[in-house]
Structure formats: structure tokens, C-alpha cells
């Protein structure tokens, strides 16, 4: 009976495909096939011995005996070298040519197993095709080998076709075959097929469970992997060391130390052996979860550190920004072994990149050349990155040009390197030249724009990326969140958050969560910021810092204190940065007493010596509260030299409290420290102007002109229907001015009726009163508010982002507008948020 199976008819693949497996003949097993003997080849240790024995056998005519050839092939597979495997394949071919397919099934299975286990999946598939061609029907032992080969070769189509053959042959109830299918589908990322095979199994063994858990862990579903593991244990199924390794690596991916420890407890509970692979998984998990001490302890205690373990330690050190520690491991390896391989060198080069250590980088390059590793793409890419970070673009380009197979990593390393060297033009040129820009390329470009404060351009590029069908990942979204925060683009902020919630494969981890909090805080949406914060699975000091920062933006000092205390309560150690945000919040909230208290506690309770920034916060706090003498006294008693920022804070406070004497003193200090600082001249001229000292104003203006210092124009922007509109003071060139003009007149009338009168001291030019009034009415935030009122529906808040600090007249104006037009107005200036509702502001006129 002839069996003809064409899986192409079962599974929708192209009928012209030459990959189709076709079985044409009777199964060999049905034609008197018996279990072979390995024969005397079994003792052969080398190809030479093997060939000598083979020629003896040929003389006696035994070379036609299936059991002899089977033995020869088995020996070759055992040796497992490229040469021996190809030799086995040749022997098999000759045997079939001479004797026909009968008796060759075991040989085929052996050769497929040999290729597959050595990572030659593509050759395993070829041999399987040859097997079908000559009419040998595979058996249930063939498929696990074949599928493993398909997995290693990433041969998705061939694997699916094999599944078709398996179904037709009725071997799909074999647990080994099913387990192999699970593994194959999991590795191909086909998690639904994986689950289907698992669910349909009538009996499962521990390998079935392990394959599924491992599949989930690898396929970005570490959460499901751990859940499944815990369910399995709950059901009374006993895991083995392999299962544990899969579950532990899932915890590493999740960076969830608590969960990791919970899973680890089962090692002891089930009395499982901790071998090197398990040790490695544990070290990796501790490292990825940030418990460096535990990882280091395990590593140090391990008496037979193998190559993989050393590599794990090194790569994690480098990943954690501890390149020096990584290079110490490398040193130990060079002295006592194991001998570094290409994976070791990848981490080593990366460590040199981080430290910009050209000397060590070059010696790594030397090691690579001596050990003939330079043909490996990844090594070359790492070297390109290293040379770029060490500011040697020529060396990097030379390497790049020499590479026969440039990967996207090569291009991306070069592009980001050019940005780091400040050669923006070359970076853009490469981006346009590269054949397939991938997600990382786009992220690099978007990130560079954000770095350069070109936020609108960054968002534009993001839209372009989307139009080209490239899906954003967490890195894209972090960059986007940053741009969005700086622009105060509320609608985009909401879109980003919704997008992340919708996408299962984007993990809102610590860093992304923190970026979102910061984004919402900057967009004047502290409520959403706190919502993100409360939904975070874990919070580190950065997350708490961002949340406290959101309170600082809002000027909510009390809530900031509550958050800080809650953080301490949860056992999180404060760092220097969190104190900056806390003190800023207290400053914006006008909480002087609390400010002194927390400032004092830094060193007393937490051993953190206040830095210049902290003194800056305190000067700001005291200055805002009008305690100028106290602020000046603090500056005089600082343990370090006060910098420009400190004096600027004091100067700003002087302006607010109209203290010209102290202002002059501060301005002198600034002039000494940084004579070309543009903002300082503006601020000083503002002080003179508000005190009516026009001669001095003119003097400063002249000085600015002579020094070529220009005051940056004040600008305000609003976002309407996803479009950002930017207004500059008095700029009448915008096409929208036709509609804004009458609105401004109307607004002016209505707010004057409600009691507003313009505060002309805010105009910094010596012009007559009507002119002053006119200039004042054209401040950019007024234009932005008018435009927003026209273009948004009643009940919608008006949101304005301003590049400079809001002036006191615009502040009064906005309060009045919020009442007269019954609209919430939210203005973010360069310092903080102002929420105007019903005629008053959240800052309580204190800013």
C-alpha cells in the first residue's frame, strides 16, 4: 500500500513551494526493518580510526550491511564535528544508492538528530526532505529531531508543514512529538498554537509544562510563565531543575525580586539539585532584579565558575552601569580562566564604551584579532560603538566600511555615535541612507531630537514612523512622553497612556511609569500622574521622586510631605534627588518652617550632605517668602561657593519683593561668575523697570546690545485638535490674528468691567502709557488664551504653555478671565503650573 501525503493540501502554503514534504512510498518500518546494531564503529574516537575500520569492512563486503552503516553513522554523530556529520550524511547517501531505502530509517533519524543538535537546523531539514524523496516514511522518533532543527533554523514554514505530516500520520498523540511542537511554536512566537497543542494533550509530562513555561518566559510573557508555574505546583505536579530554571528566568525578565524569591523557595522544598545552569539562572535573576549583593555572593561562592556564569556576571554589571566591576571579572578570567569568548568580549567592549576607555577598548580589539573573532558581526558592532563613544569616528567608520554584512545594529551604532560626537548632519545622512531603518533607528532619531529640545519635530518624526507602519515600543513612548511633557501636550499625553494600557506587549515598568508620571505632571494633570503612580506594580526612589515632583509643579507642599513620609514608611531610602523635588514643592507651597526641617534632616537623619542644588532650593524658598536677609545669610554660610543659580534665585526673589539693593548685589555676583548670561541682564533690567529706574534700564539694555546678548522672545503655545499653535509677544503675523484681534478687545472690555486694570510696571520699555497698555495687552499668553477661547467649547479647560515666567499682569488677567468666561485656565510657565478657576489661582498669588 503506497502512502501519499501532501501537507500542502492540509495547510495553506504556496503550492509552488519547493518546501512541501511529500511521502511517496511505503513506510520502511513495514518492510522488514529491524533494530540495527552499532557494531564495531562504536569504539572509534576519531575520523581517522573510523575511516581505517571502514576500509577493512569494505574489503570483507560488510559495507552493504545496514547494521554496519548504522554503527558508522552513530559514531559520526557521537563525534559531532562538522566533518563527521557531513561524513555520516555521505555514508547514508551511498547506502541508499546501493541498497535502496529499506533499513535506512534509523540512519536518517540519526543524521537529522546530529545536525539538529549541533545547530545545523537547515541541514537537518534538507536530510528530512531527502528522506521523503527516496521514499522513507518518517516515524514518531523523526519529528522531535526535525522540529528541534526547524526551531533552531527559525524555519517556521517547514515546522508547520511537519505538523501537517504529523497529523496525517497519526503520531500527534505521542507526548514527545507534542512536546516538540510546543517548543517549536513557542520559539516561533506562535503562543496561540503553543497553547492549543498543550490544551489538547490527553496526557502531559513535566517536559510539556516546562516547554510551555519556557515558551512564555521567552516570548515576552514572563508574567504568564510564572503564573503557570505556580498553578502547576498548586496542582501537585513536581517541577524538575529545568522547570525551575525557566520560572526563575521569567522572574528575571519581570525584575520582580519578591516573586523570584518565592519561586526559588521551591528549589529547597522539592530538594532539587542546584547545578551550574541553575546557579547561573539565579545569579542572572538577582542581578536583573537589582540585588547585586546576593548575585555577587552566589557568584563568589561558586567553586566551578564556567564561561556562561562569568558572562552572566559581566553582562549584568555592564547593564547596571558598573563597567569597572565587569572588567574586574574579565581580569580574573584572563588570569585564572575560563577563557573569554566572543560573548565575554561583547560585554568587555561595552564596558570600555561606557567608561570611554580607549586604551582598554583597543586592547580588547587586540584580543579579538588574536583570537580571530573579528569576523563576528556583533563584535564589530560593539567595536563601532566603542570607537564612537571614545570619540574616534574615523576608526568606527573604517570598521563599518570593512564589514561585509552590515546589520541594522551597525548602522544604528554609527548613527547614535555621530549624535554623541555632535555630528548631527552625518547622523541624519546615514539615517536616510540606511536600507531598513528599524525601531531602534527611529528611536535614536526621535531621542536625539528630544535631547536637542526639538519636541515638535520629535513628535512629527514619531507620526512619520507610524505612517511607515513601525509600531512604537516602551523606549519610543518614553521619548515621546518626555517631548509631550515639555510641550505640555495634554491630548497626546492621554493618547500615550491609553496606548500603553491597550498594548499587552508594552510593559509599563519602573522607567516608563516614572516617565509617564513626569509627563502628566508637566502637562498640568497631577490627577493622572498620581493615577499612574498608584497603578505601578513597584516603586523605586525615582518613581516617588516623580510623584513628589508632580506635587511641586502643582504647588502642593502638604501632599508632597505626605508622599515623602509614605515613601519612608515603605522602607525606600531617600536620595539627594528626591530632596530637590521635596524642597521645591515646599518652596512653591510657601512652607518655610517645613523647609528648614527637611533641609536639616538631610544630613542629620539620612546622612545626605546637602549639595548646591539643595541650598538653591532653600534660597528660593526663603526668597519667595520675602525672607531676603535670611536667604542672603544662608548663602554666606554655605560650605561651598554659591553658583549662578543661587544668585539668580535671590535676584528673582528681589524682583518679586522689589528689593533693588539686594538685587544689585546679586546681579554683581552673577556678572562676575557668568558675564554673558542673557537671562540675568533681562532680570536686572526688569528690576530697574519695575522700580521705575529707566536710566539704569537703558544702561543694561545698552550693555546687552554691546555684548551681543539677546532676550529670547516670550512665547506661549496651545494645543487644539492635536495641532500646536505658538504665539510670540506682539507678533501680528499669524493668520489667526484676524480672529484674535476682536476677541482681545472683547476680553479687555469684560475683564475691566469686572475690576481688572493693567499693571503697567510689567512693561519694560520707557514708552508712554497708551503704548505700554498696548504692549501689555499683546503678551503672548493673552494671545494664546484668546485663541483658545475661540477654538474650544465651553467647559473645556484652556491650556497654555509659556517659555518664561508669567508676569503679574497676565496672572491677574487670567484670574479675571477664568471668572468672567467661567473657564478653567491652566498655564505652565518655565517654573510651575497655575490653575485658574473662578477668579483665583492655585498658587494663591505666590510664585
Which residues in 289-308 contact DNA (CB under 7 A)?
306-308
Nearest approach in angstroms of CB 29 to DNA is 13
Among 107, 162, 259, 382, binds DNA (CB under 7 A): 382
User: Quick one: CA dihedral 761, 766, 772, 776, positive or negative?
Assistant: negative
Cell numbers found for residue 110: 540519526
Four-residue CA torsion sign, 165, 171, 174, 176: negative
Parallel, antiparallel, or unpaired for β 825-828 and 798-802? parallel
**Which range in 173-181, 578-586, 656-664, 776-784 contacts DNA by CB under 7 A?**
173-181
Q: Which residues of 453-488 are buried (b: 16+ CB within 10 A; e: fewer)?
A: eebebbbebbeebeeeebebbbbbbbbbbbbbbbbb
Q: Of 278 and 817, which has the nearer Cβ to DNA?
A: 278
CB of 329 or CB of 619, closer to DNA: 329
Check residue 280 for interaction with DNA (CB under 7 A).
yes
Out of 228, 309, 458, 663, the residue judged to bind DNA by CB under 7 A: 309
Nearer to DNA, 308 or 552 (CB): 308
Segment lying near DNA (by CB under 7 A), choices 52-60, 235-243, 484-492, 724-732: 235-243
Match 586604551 to its residue by C-alpha cell.
359
Size of the site for DNA (CB under 7 A): 78
What the block records as the C-alpha cell of 483 is: 517631548
Q: Which one of the spans 229-237, 242-250, 654-662, 826-834 is the region binding DNA (CB under 7 A)?
A: 242-250
Q: Which of residues 465-504 bind DNA (CB under 7 A)?
A: 473, 475-476
Instruction: Give the residue with the Cβ less far from DNA, 201 or 645.
Output: 201
User: Which residues, at least 6 apart from 588, have a Cβ–Cβ distance to it below 8 Å?
Assistant: 552, 553, 554, 555, 557, 624, 832, 843, 846, 847
In DSSP terms, which residues pair with 825 in a beta bridge? 798, 836
User: Does residue 207 bind DNA (CB under 7 A)?
Assistant: yes
Least distance (Å) from DNA to the CB of residue 706?
A: 41
Closest approach, Cβ 130 to DNA, in A, equals 20
- Find the helix or strand (DSSP H, E) in which 653 lies: helix 644-656
> Using CB under 7 A, which residues numbered 345 to 374 contact DNA?
346-347, 350, 353
Q: Interaction with DNA in 425-444: which residues (CB under 7 A)?
A: 438-441, 443-444
Comparing CB distances to DNA, the nearer of 279 and 685 is 279
- The reply on whether position 221 binds DNA by CB under 7 A is no
Q: How far is the CB of 321 from DNA (least distance, A)?
A: 11
Bridge partners (DSSP) of residue 724 are: 719
CB of 407 to DNA, least distance (A): 7
Q: Quick one: which of 267, 277, 421, 691 contacts DNA (CB under 7 A)?
A: 277
The single residue among 343, 403, 568, 613 that binds DNA, judged by CB under 7 A, is: 343
176 to 195: interface string for DNA, x by CB under 7 A: xx-xx--x------------
For DNA, the closer of residues 52 and 276 by Cβ is 276
Kindly tell me which residue out of 5, 246, 530, 783 binds DNA, with binding defined by CB under 7 A. Answer: 246
Please give the residues from 518 up to 547 whose contact with DNA meets the rule CB under 7 A.
none
Task: Please name the helix (run of DSSP H) or strand (run of DSSP E) that holds residue 835, with its range, or none.
Answer: strand 833-837
| Binder among 72, 73, 242, 666 for DNA (CB under 7 A) | 242
Stretch that binds DNA, among 344-352, 619-627, 718-726, 745-753 (CB under 7 A): 344-352
CA distance 232 to 222: 15
Q: Does 408 engage in binding with DNA (CB under 7 A)?
A: yes
Nearer to DNA, 84 or 476 (CB): 476
Q: Considering the complex, state which of residue 243 and residue 685 has its C-beta at the smaller distance from DNA.
A: 243
Q: Are 456 and 424 in contact (CB under 8 A)?
A: no
* Residue 180 to residue 126: CA distance in whole angstroms: 19
Q: Which residues pair with 5 in a beta bridge?
A: 23
Q: Which of 4, 28, 250 is nearest to 131 (CA)?
A: 28
The piece of 202-210, 663-671, 760-768, 798-806 that touches DNA (CB under 7 A) is: 202-210
Segment 323-342, which members bind DNA (CB under 7 A)? Answer: 341-342
730 φ, ψ (degrees, to nearest 5):
70, 5
Which residue lies nearer to DNA by CB, 506 or 654? 506
CB closer to DNA, 269 vs 741: 269
CA-to-CA distance for 211 and 175, rounded, in angstroms? 12
Three-state secondary structure call for residue 318 = helix
Cell numbers at 135, concatenated: 521514499
The residue from 75, 194, 221, 243 that contacts DNA (CB under 7 A) is: 243
As a dihedral over the C-alpha atoms of residue 670, residue 675, residue 676, residue 682, rounded to 10 degrees, the angle is: 50
Stretch that binds DNA, among 408-416, 523-531, 654-662, 800-808 (CB under 7 A): 408-416
User: How does 232-257 read in b/e, with b if 16+ C-beta sit within 10 Å?
Assistant: bbeeeeebebbbbbbbbbbbbbbbbb
- Under rule CB under 7 A, which residues in 109-168 are in contact with DNA? 113, 117, 140-141, 143-145, 148, 151
Looking at 62-70, 277-285, 557-565, 684-692, which segment touches DNA (CB under 7 A)?
277-285
> Apex CA 829: angle with CA 824 and CA 835, to 5°?
25
Give 295 or 784: the residue with its C-beta nearer to DNA.
295
Nearer Cβ to DNA (108/833): 108
Measured from the CB atom, is 309 or 543 closer to DNA?
309
Q: Are strands 840-841 and 798-802 parallel, antiparallel or unpaired?
A: unpaired
Report the residue number, 213 or 814, with the smaller CB distance to DNA. 213
CB of 99 to DNA, least distance (A): 24
CA atoms within 13 A on the CB side of 502: 8
Nearer to DNA, 101 or 326 (CB): 326
C-beta of 186: minimal distance to DNA in Å? 8
Please report how many Cα atoms fall inside a 13 Å half-sphere around the Cα of residue 536, on the Cβ side: 23
Q: Shortest Cβ distance from residue 40 to DNA (Å)?
A: 20
C-alpha angle 113-119-124 in degrees, rounded to nearest 5: 45
Task: Provide the 10 A C-beta neighbour count for residue 43.
Answer: 12
- DSSP for 23-78? B-S--GGGTT--PPP-GGGGG--SHHHHHHHHHHHHHHTGGG-HHHHHHHHHHHHH
**How many Cβ atoms from other residues are within 10 Å of residue 741's Cβ?**
13
* Beta-carbon contacts of residue 533 (< 8 Å; ≥ 6 apart): 513, 517, 539, 543, 546, 547, 550
Is 278 a binding residue for DNA by CB under 7 A? The answer is yes
Out of 245, 259, 536, 621, which residue is the one contacting DNA (CB under 7 A)? 245
The total number of residues written for the chain in this structure: 847
Give the torsion through C-alpha atoms of 628, 633, 636, 638, to 10 deg.
Answer: -100
Of the candidates 275, 453, 601, 840, which one interacts with DNA according to CB under 7 A? 275
Cell numbers standing for residue 626: 520675602
In the complex, what is the shortest distance from the CB of residue 763 to DNA, in angstroms, rounded to a whole number?
A: 44
Would you give the binding string for DNA spanning residues 71-110, x where CB under 7 A is met?
----------------------------------------
Nearest Cα to 804, choosing from 731, 711, 738? 711
Comparing CB distances to DNA, the nearer of 181 and 841 is 181
Least separation, in Å, of the C-beta of 212 and DNA?
9
Q: Least CB distance from residue 641 to DNA, whole Å?
A: 34
For the record, the C-alpha cell of 651 comes out as: 535676584
Any idea which residue has 525606600 for its cell? 572
Among the listed ranges 236-244, 668-676, 780-788, 820-828, the one in contact with DNA (CB under 7 A) is: 236-244
Amino acid at each position: 500500500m503506497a502512502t501519499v501525503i501532501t501537507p500542502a493540501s492540509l495547510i495553506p502554503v504556496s503550492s509552488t513551494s519547493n518546501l512541501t514534504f511529500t511521502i511517496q512510498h511505503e513506510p520502511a518500518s513495514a518492510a522488514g526493518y529491524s533494530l540495527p546494531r552499532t557494531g564495531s564503529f562504536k569504539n572509534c574516537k576519531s575520523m581517522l580510526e573510523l575511516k581505517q575500520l571502514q576500509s577493512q569492512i569494505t574489503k570483507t563486503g560488510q559495507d552493504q550491511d545496514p547494521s554496519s552503516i548504522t554503527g558508522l553513522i552513530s559514531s559520526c554523530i557521537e563525534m559531532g564535528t562538522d566533518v563527521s556529520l557531513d561524513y555520516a550524511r555521505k555514508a547514508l547517501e551511498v547506502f541508499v544508492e546501493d541498497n535502496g531505502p529499506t533499513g535506512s530509517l534509523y540512519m536518517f533519524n540519526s543524521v537529522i538528530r546530529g545536525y539538529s543538535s549541533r545547530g545545523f537546523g537547515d541541514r537537518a531539514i534538507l536530510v528530512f526532505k531527502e528522506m521523503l524523496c527516496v521514499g522513507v516514511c518518517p516515524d514518531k522518533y523523526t519529528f522531535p529531531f526535525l522540529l528541534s532543527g526547524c526551531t533552531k533554523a527559525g524555519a517556521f514554514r517547514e515546522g508547520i508543514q511537519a505538523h501537517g505530516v504529523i497529523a496525517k500520520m497519526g503520531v500527534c498523540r505521542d507526548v514527545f512529538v507534542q512536546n516538540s511542537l510546543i517548543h517549536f511554536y513557542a520559539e516561533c512566537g506562535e503562543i496561540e498554537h503553543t497553547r492549543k497543542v498543550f490544551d489538547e494533550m490527553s496526557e502531559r509530562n513535566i517536559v510539556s509544562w516546562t516547554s510551555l513555561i519556557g515558551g512564555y518566559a521567552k516570548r515576552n510573557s514572563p508574567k504568564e510563565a510564572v503564573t503557570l508555574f505556580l498553578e502547576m505546583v498548586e496542582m501537585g505536579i513536581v517541577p524538575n531543575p529545568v522547570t525551575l530554571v525557566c520560572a526563575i528566568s521569567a522572574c528575571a525578565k519581570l525584575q520582580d525580586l519578591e516573586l523570584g524569591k518565592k519561586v526559588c523557595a521551591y528549589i529547597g522544598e522539592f530538594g532539587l539539585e542546584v547545578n551550574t545552569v541553575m546557579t547561573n539562572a539565579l545569579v542572572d535573576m538577582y542581578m536583573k532584579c537589582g540585588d547585586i549583593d546576593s548575585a555577587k555572593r552566589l557568584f563568589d561562592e561558586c567553586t566551578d565558575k564556567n564561561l556562561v556564569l562569568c558572562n552572566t556576571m559581566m553582562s549584568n554589571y555592564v547593564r547596571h552601569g558598573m563597567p569597572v566591576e565587569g572588567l574586574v571579572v574579565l581580569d580574573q578570567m584572563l588570569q585564572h580562566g575560563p577563557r573569554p569568548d566572543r560573548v565575554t568580549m561583547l560585554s568587555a567592549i561595552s564596558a570600555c564604551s561606557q567608561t570611554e576607555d580607549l586604551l582598554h577598548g583597543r586592547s580588547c580589539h587586540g584580543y579579538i584579532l588574536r583570537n580571530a573573532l573579528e569576523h563576528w558581526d556583533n563584535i564589530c558592532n560593539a567595536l563601532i560603538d566603542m570607537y564612537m563613544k571614545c570619540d574616534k569616528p574615523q576608526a568606527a567608520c573604517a570598521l563599518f566600511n570593512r564589514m561585509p554584512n552590515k546589520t541594522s545594529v551597525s548602522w544604528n551604532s554609527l548613527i547614535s555615535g555621530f549624535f554623541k560626537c555632535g555630528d548631527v548632519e552625518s547622523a541624519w545622512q546615514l539615517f536616510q541612507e540606511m536600507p531598513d531603518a528599524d525601531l531602534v533607528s527611529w528611536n535614536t532619531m526621535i531621542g536625539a531630537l528630544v535631547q536637542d529640545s526639538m519636541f515638535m519635530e520629535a513628535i512629527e518624526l514619531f507620526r512619520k514612523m507610524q505612517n511607515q507602519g513601525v509600531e512604537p515600543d516602551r523606549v519610543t513612548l518614553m521619548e515621546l512622553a518626555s517631548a509631550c511633557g515639555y510641550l505640555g501636550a495634554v491630548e497626546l499625553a492621554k493618547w500615550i497612556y491609553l496606548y500603553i494600557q491597550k498594548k499587552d506587549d508594552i510593559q509599563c515598568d519602573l522607567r516608563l511609569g516614572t516617565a509617564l508620571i513626569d509627563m502628566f505632571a508637566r502637562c498640568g494633570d497631577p490627577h493622572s500622574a498620581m493615577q499612574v503612580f498608584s497603578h505601578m506594580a513597584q516603586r523605586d526612589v525615582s518613581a516617588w521622586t516623580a510623584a513628589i515632583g508632580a506635587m511641586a509643579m502643582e504647588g502642593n507642599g502638604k501632599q508632597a510631605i505626605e508622599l515623602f513620609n509614605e515613601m519612608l514608611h515603605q522602607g525606600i531610602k531617600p536620595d539627594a534627588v528626591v530632596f530637590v523635588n521635596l524642597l521645591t514643592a515646599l518652596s512653591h507651597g510657601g512652607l518655610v518652617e517645613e523647609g528648614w526641617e527637611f533641609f536639616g534632616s538631610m544630613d542629620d537623619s539620612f546622612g545626605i550632605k546637602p549639595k548646591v542644588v539643595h541650598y538653591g532650593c532653600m534660597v528660593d524658598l526663603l526668597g519667595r517668602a520675602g525672607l531676603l536677609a535670611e536667604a542672603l545669610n544662608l548663602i554666606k554660610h554655605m560650605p561651598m561657593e554659591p553658583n549662578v543659580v543661587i544668585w539668580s534665585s535671590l535676584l528673582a526673589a528681589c524682583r518679586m519683593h522689589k528689593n533693588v539693593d539686594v538685587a544689585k548685589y546679586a546681579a554683581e555676583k552673577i556678572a562676575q561668575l557668568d558675564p554673558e548670561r542673557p537671562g540675568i541682564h533681562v532680570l536686572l533690567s526688569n528690576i530697574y523697570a519695575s522700580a521705575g529706574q529707566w536710566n539704569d534700564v537703558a544702561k543694561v539694555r545698552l550693555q546687552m546690545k554691546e555684548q551681543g546678548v539677546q532676550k529670547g522672545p516670550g512665547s506661549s503655545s496651545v494645543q487644539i485638535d492635536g495641532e500646536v499653535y505658538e504665539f510670540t509677544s506682539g507678533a501680528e503675523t499669524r493668520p489667526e490674528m484676524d480672529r484674535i484681534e476682536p476677541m482681545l478687545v472683547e476680553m479687555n472690555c469684560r475683564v475691566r468691567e469686572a475690576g481688572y486694570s493693567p499693571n503697567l510696571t510689567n512693561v519694560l520699555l520707557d514708552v508712554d502709557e497708551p503704548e505700554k497698555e498696548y504692549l501689555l495687552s499683546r503678551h503672548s499668553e493673552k494671545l494664546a488664551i484668546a485663541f483658545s477661547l475661540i477654538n474650544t467649547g465651553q467647559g473645556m479647560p484652556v491650556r497654555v504653555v509659556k517659555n518664561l515666567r508669567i508676569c503679574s499682569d497676565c496672572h491677574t488677567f487670567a484670574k479675571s478671565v477664568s471668572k468672567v468666561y467661567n473657564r478653567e485656565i491652566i498655564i505652565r510657565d518655565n517654573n510651575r503650573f497655575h490653575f485658574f478657576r473662578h477668579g483665583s489661582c492655585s498658587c494663591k498669588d505666590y510664585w
